[in-house]
Amino acid sequence: MPLPRFSLVLALAALLLAAAPVRADRMAEEAAAVRTLMARGELTQALQRAEKAATAQPGDAAAQFLLGLVLMEQGRDTEALALYIRMAESWPELPDPYNNIALLRARRGDYEAARLALEAALRNDPGHRIARANLGRVHLLLAVQAWEQLGAQGPLDVALQRQLDEARALLAGGAPRTAR
């Protein structure tokens, strides 16, 4: 006896919902495997697995994000930046792509663009601790940049020179962090 159309739709919906956790579990396992390969320094294998996952699931933000992390780890910043920009366009509500866009922009010395990206991340998630910490660091980088430009025009007064030296010392303490 054929199922009525509504029952068939419900059955298909239940089947799709039941499969979703399996896909999520598979992606979590794949992400763990890629991160393990990255930790071991096996970046070529990590990239192959991440590319395979991202290609198989182009609509999965986690798979795309993972690929971006591997690209960043390999120093392929231009490709990673392009990927994170596409992610921000496809999933504008996610904060992590914006955080990593900011990190990549800051690596290039474009601190103003980094600041804007971090502010976008924080609009999406005001409690995003990594983005908040990175924003503080970018503000410090912008201050150093402004003070150095001022110093190029002539000597800084003693107090401002001390602030510049202290800001540089703070920045020497660590790099901005990626969202992982």
Domain locations in the chain as residue ranges: 8-75, 81-180
Beta carbons of 160 and 126 less than 8 angstroms apart: no
Q: What is the pLDDT of residues 105-153, one digit of tens each?
A: 999 999 999 999 999 999 999 999 999 999 999 999 999 999 999 999 9
* Phi (first) and psi of residue 51, to 5 degrees: -65, -40
- pTM, two decimals, is 0.80
Please tell me the predicted confidence (pLDDT) of residue 17: 46
Please tell me the predicted confidence (pLDDT) of residue 22: 43
CATH assignment, 81-180? 1.25.40
**Average pLDDT over the chain, rounded to an integer:** 87
Q: What's the CA gap between 21 and 147, in Å, rounded?
A: 52
Please tell me the predicted confidence (pLDDT) of residue 25: 72
- Angle subtended at Cα 167 by Cα 164 and Cα 172, rounded to the nearest 5 degrees: 125
